[in-house]
Amino acid sequence: MPRRERNKFVKRGQIIDILIEDYAFGGKGIGRIRNEHGEFVVFVPNTLPGQLVKTQIKKSSKKYAEGKLFEVLKPSEDEVDMPYQSIPGAPYINLPIEKQHQYKKQSTLELFKRIGKVVDIEDKFDEFVTSPNTFHYRNKMEYGFSAIGYDHEKKTDVDEFTLGFKKRGTWWCGDDLKKDSGLFDAEFENHLKDIKAYCVKTGLAPWHPPKREGFFRYFVVRKSYKTNQLLFNLVTTSYDLPQFDLDKFANYLVELFGDRVAGLLHTINDETGDRTIATTGTISLVYGEDKIVEELLDLNFEISMKSFFQTNPKCAEKLYTKVVDYALENKEAVDNTVVLDLFCGTGTIGQIIANKAKNTKIVGVDIVAAAIEDAKENAKRNNIEGLKFYAADVGKFLTEHPEYTNKIRTIILDPARAGIAPKTLKKIINLKAERLVYVSCNPATQARDTEQLMDAGYTIKKLSLVDQFPHTAHIETVVLFEKN
């Protein structure tokens, strides 16, 4: 057996300082090592051209390596100062938003050329849809407790009670959020240090990730932009629970936020896995209501702690408007027909189309039963008729419900990040719909599916990008496909 050739540039586990020179899709900065053996590329996620960064090599091959970002040693010349506390969830918050848009557009279109084989993608480009709020746009945040903190001066982890986010590049180390991060509700985040102080005073321990023990685990908050209310969920283990007064904690939150408090839930999670909602745990209402109401395009949606809902609701309105505009561009293919809304989640897109179309039957399908229950409830609340929802695997549904297959002219697709399974995509293609409106939170898998759709006789008519998550690498795409 031939010996594997040793990488002449880097080895796995090595920590190096490297200058980032270019930007690739998904927020991967490109650094280059040059020595007597030639030039070698290192991809480092969440970095920007012009930054000098410290990275640890996680994967290495003959052609390139991938690193994990530890620290930005020197910012890019493009970056500007911001009044917010820097957190790992917003790696580009110091980059002007126009520059962020430029990087996202350029790298996404390049992806469709390279993976989707769409050589004229620039000609198909319709619009870059920006978020109405660049800051404080999120309606949900999860803050973690940890018994291990980080001393930024000594650059080492220390034993201390923390409440905030994981220190970048670590799974065991917490980092206190001491003020507004610029992403969520400013009033709430400026009070997080007070909530931490309250918890410290109880004498109960925060979660210790390596030991997998402790009491406080997570504090999860949802916000309604319609009512400005906050819904809280305190996640703890059951150990020492009798020593913690949940009612007193609820009263403390009301002292801080007054009538903004919609309710407080308490989740028991004794599992060792790092999740806010345990599969075996319980969730109970301590105070107030267990839901908040949000509004999207004049429709009302009840959101529980477990519900899936768009994280940036104001931008989601713009996303859904674009999807509906593409769907209704040819109203003849929607009015008096059946529209399939596949991977429909809580059925928002289908409801909006049913509200705007004439005598259209919307059939929504999603594998998550709880999302389908929410979809049915929301349709009732909004008095929208002509909707039918099924909790089923999309591929299986298409096989088992032939009654819809010869009436379909328009299909809405909004799959998870993994894209559409090839067998399922083949079943969708076999429906011979004239038009597909494909929404994606992962353009890489959408570009992959594009090649299969083009082979089946579909072409891209239009493509828009929607910036749902400013200051991150994420971008959503809406593509209108038409059958040749």
**Annotated binding residues, as ranges?**
310, 343, 366, 414
CA distance 213 to 172: 12
Annotated binding site for S-adenosyl-L-methionine: 310, 343, 366, 414
149 — alpha (psi -120 to 50), left (phi > 0) or beta?
Answer: beta
CA distance 192 to 167: 17
CA distance 213 to 294: 36
- Per DSSP, 5 falls in state P
Catalytic residue among 173, 315, 344, 441: 441
3-state secondary structure at position 413? strand
Token pair 């009015």: residue? 335
Q: Give one DSSP letter per residue of 435-484, joined into a string.
A: EEEEEES-HHHHHHHHHHHHHTTEEEEEEEEE--STTSS--EEEEEEEE-
Neighbours of 2 (CB within 10 A): 4
Neighbours of 394 (CB within 10 A): 22
CA distance 351 to 365: 13
For residues 64 and 39, the answer to whether their CB atoms sit within 8 Å is no
Nearest to 349 by CA among 327, 371, 377: 327
CA distance 2 to 219: 53
CA distance 419 to 448: 8
* Residue 315 is a catalytic residue: no
Nearest to 478 by CA among 448, 449, 436: 436
Structure tokens at 186: 């400013």
Q: Catalogue the active-site residues.
A: 441
